Amino acid sequence: MTETKAGEEMVREVRKRYGAIAVAKSSCCGPTPATSCCGTAAASEPLGYRGSDLASVPPEADLGLGCGAPVGFLDLEPGETVLDLGSGPGLDALLAARQVGPTGRVIGVDMTPEMLARARQTAARAGAAQVEFREGRLEALPVEDGSVDAVTSNCVINLVPDKAAVFREIARVLKPGGRVVVSDIVLERPLPEAVAKDVLAWVGCVAGAIDRREYFRGIEAAGLSGLKVLKEEDYAESLARIDPAQAEGLLERWGVSRESLQGVVMSVTWRAVRR
């Protein structure tokens, strides 16, 4: 099987499983209700979201699918245009909308129709008229060149087979001097084989991750500069703290110890600007 064909099959699997999460709150790792490999629906606050912010948006916007809280680092101003990549149920888009205000604009892009439907309903309930959601792939964004002030994404780029293409698209749509803040998963060293081959681990944010050095080289090659890591945390330790039962279930599924994953999978929040 060619690399391109394998990548497209994985994209279809990601779309299928995140569609199920959107309509039934099923897990991206298995059938457990209301949980995900990246956390739980009650786990966003430990990731860095403020309780007051979460309380300001409809609860159905938060499915606990992130690995950080990137919007808080964007320093948004009223009137700005923000793009949320892999916007899911709309949590970060709605939080960004509160900061840019009625004169600003927020665009969410997602490839999963069920997530888009959920996000649009949630935005309507929140009265966020300045928010719109578009269907599309992150490797070919349905957004005009140089049209946004800021880009964000939360634990989604790791799910895309061609990450370098995503970074090039970010640079294309940003205005000169525009900034990007992303929370994502990277690897310090290769995953145990059982994890790397697990389709559900990919869909759950782990097996799709690549080496940190390769990931950051792609950002700089795309024309984004001033790269800075704002926050970093061991993913295995974070998941064990937020959802111990989920963490133990994954370790049992993969047949690996927690120690074998410690220091391997890292959740990072990074910032860069378009040159």
Which two structure tokens, joined as six digits, stand for 7?
A: 């990548």
| 249-92-139-151 Cα dihedral, nearest 10 degrees | -130
Chain centroid offset of residue 55 CA: 21
**How many angstroms separate the CA atoms of 128 and 229, rounded?**
31
Question: pLDDT by residue (tens digit) across 251-267?
Answer: 888 888 888 888 999 99
How confident is the model over 150-162, as a mean pLDDT? 95
CB of 90 closer than 8 Å to CB of 65:
no
Q: Which of 26-40 are b and which e, b meaning 16 or more Cβ less than 10 Å from the residue's Cβ?
A: bbbbeebeebbbbbb
Question: pLDDT by residue (tens digit) across 84-132?
Answer: 999 999 999 999 999 999 999 999 999 999 999 999 999 999 999 999 9
Cα distances from 248 to residues 29, 174, 265, in angstroms, run 12, 41, 16
pLDDT of 153: 98
CB of 93 closer than 8 Å to CB of 84:
yes
Q: How many Cβ atoms sit within 10 Å of the Cβ of residue 51? A: 9
Percent of all residues in the chain with a pLDDT value above 90, rounded to a whole number: 63
Q: Where are the beta strands (DSSP E) in 42-125?
A: 81-85, 105-110
pLDDT of 28: 45
Q: Across-strand partners of 180?
A: 151, 272
Which two structure tokens, joined as six digits, stand for 246?
A: 């989920």
Reported as type and span, the H/E element at residue 153 is strand 148-154
| 204-205-210-214 Cα dihedral, nearest 10 degrees | 160
pLDDT of 205: 64
- DSSP summary character for residue 1: -
Q: Considering only residues 141 and 205, tell me which one the structure prediction assigns the higher pLDDT.
A: 141
Question: pLDDT by residue (tens digit) across 48-80?
Answer: 999 999 999 999 999 888 999 999 999 999 999
Q: Across-strand partners of 82?
A: 106, 150
Cα distances from 178 to residues 75, 200, 226, in angstroms, run 12, 35, 12
- Structural domains present in the chain: 3-274 (3.40.50.150)
Angle at 131 between CA 128 and CA 133, to 5 degrees: 130
**How many angstroms separate the CA atoms of 80 and 85, rounded?**
16
Kindly tell me the burial class for residue 18, based on how many C-beta atoms sit within 10 Å of its own C-beta (0-12, 13-18, 19 or more).
buried
Chain centroid offset of residue 141 CA: 15
**How many angstroms separate the CA atoms of 98 and 88, rounded?**
18
Q: How many Cβ atoms sit within 10 Å of the Cβ of residue 147? A: 15
Cα distances from 127 to residues 57, 96, 120, 133, in angstroms, run 10, 14, 11, 14
Q: Assign 32 a pLDDT band (cuts: 50, 70, 90).
A: very low
Q: What is the mean pLDDT of the chain?
A: 88
